[in-house]
């Protein structure tokens, strides 16, 4: 397969060099814990058949962990599956996906694998791990990125005086600032999720998640690149909400997928 950055339309040239992870390990594991706690009985059994004793928290980070794998699949083929590129003012449609695919096309592909009774167990395991991971990614606002700055990787900022970039601030810095483990943060957030929020957030449509991320994305670019406690205070609730939503949506997507044999299209 040709390299992703050489084949895209100009509006989609965003991630031509090793994109950073979304949410980092702590954030993804938090979404996995919340998701597992909100699975239906049928979905829980199906997940257990596929993953065995591996939890959704463990599965959630696996696609990022494999990025160090030197195989062509991980270095080229799977690279575009962690994000979408959306120009400001443009809703996500299938027409925006590049030839190599993106997070949404990969999600549909992996949903089909889980629904295929003839798919090998290893293929289903790969698919389920990616589904959990991709849904988490799409709730991070900079993984519904603008064209031209690689999801904030090219936006230089300082974080409490240390040089970094905007993507890394959202990826990990604001989460790490809480000084909570992933299990502590998951418990913290789950305690605040209300039944009404579970009902309202149980939307299995990727287009909904992407539209929310794009709306948030438009607010996160700072006027002053020197970021510290004020920026954290401004966006902490947004980070918590997006992590919580992602966990509920992972569960909603899997519940629907395993109950009906297919997940909603964008």
Give the number of domains in the chain: 1
- Is 266 within a domain? no
- Answer whether residue 18 shows pLDDT above 80: no
- Answer whether residue 86 shows pLDDT above 80: yes
Mean pLDDT for the stretch of residues 234-258 = 97
Mean pLDDT for the stretch of residues 1-12 = 32
Report the alpha-carbon angle 6-11-15, nearest 5. Answer: 55
Domain that holds residue 219: 4-260
**How confident is the model at residue 11, as a pLDDT?**
31
| Residue of higher predicted confidence among 95 and 257 | 257
- Is 108 within a domain? yes
Contact 179, 185 (CB under 8 A): no
Strands 144-145 and 156-159: unpaired
Give the domain CATH number at 82: 1.10.575.10
In 52-194, alpha helices (H): 56-65, 72, 103-115, 121-138, 166-168, 174-176, 182-192
- How high does pLDDT run on average in the chain? 89
């Amino acid at each position: 397969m040709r390299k992703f950055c050489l084949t895209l339309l100009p509006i989609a040239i965003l991630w031509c060099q090793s994109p950073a992870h979304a949410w980092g390990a702590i954030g993804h594991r938090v979404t996995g814990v919340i998701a597992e706690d909100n699975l239906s009985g049928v979905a829980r059994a199906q997940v257990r058949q596929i993953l065995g004793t591996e939890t959704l928290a463990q599965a959630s980070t696996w696609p990022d962990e494999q990025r160090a794998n030197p195989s062509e699949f991980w270095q080229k083929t799977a690279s575009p599956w962690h994000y979408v590129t959306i120009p400001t003012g443009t809703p996500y449609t299938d027409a925006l996906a590049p030839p190599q695919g993106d997070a949404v096309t990969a999600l549909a592909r992996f949903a089909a694998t889980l629904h295929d009774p003839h798919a090998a167990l290893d293929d289903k395991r790969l698919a389920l791990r990616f589904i959990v991971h991709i849904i988490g990614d799409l709730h991070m606002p900079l993984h519904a990125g603008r064209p031209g700055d690689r999801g904030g990787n090219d936006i230089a900022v300082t974080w409490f005086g240390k040089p970094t970039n905007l993507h890394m601030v959202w990826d990990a810095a604001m989460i790490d600032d809480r000084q909570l483990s992933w299990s502590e943060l998951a418990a913290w957030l789950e305690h605040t999720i209300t039944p009404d929020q579970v009902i309202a957030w149980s939307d299995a449509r990727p287009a909904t998640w992407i539209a929310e991320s794009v709306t948030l994305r438009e607010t996160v670019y700072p006027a002053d690149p020197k970021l510290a406690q004020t920026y954290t205070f401004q966006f902490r609730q947004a980070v918590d909400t997006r992590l919580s939503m992602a966990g509920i949506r992972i569960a909603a997507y899997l519940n629907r997928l395993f109950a009906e044999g297919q997940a909603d299209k964008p």
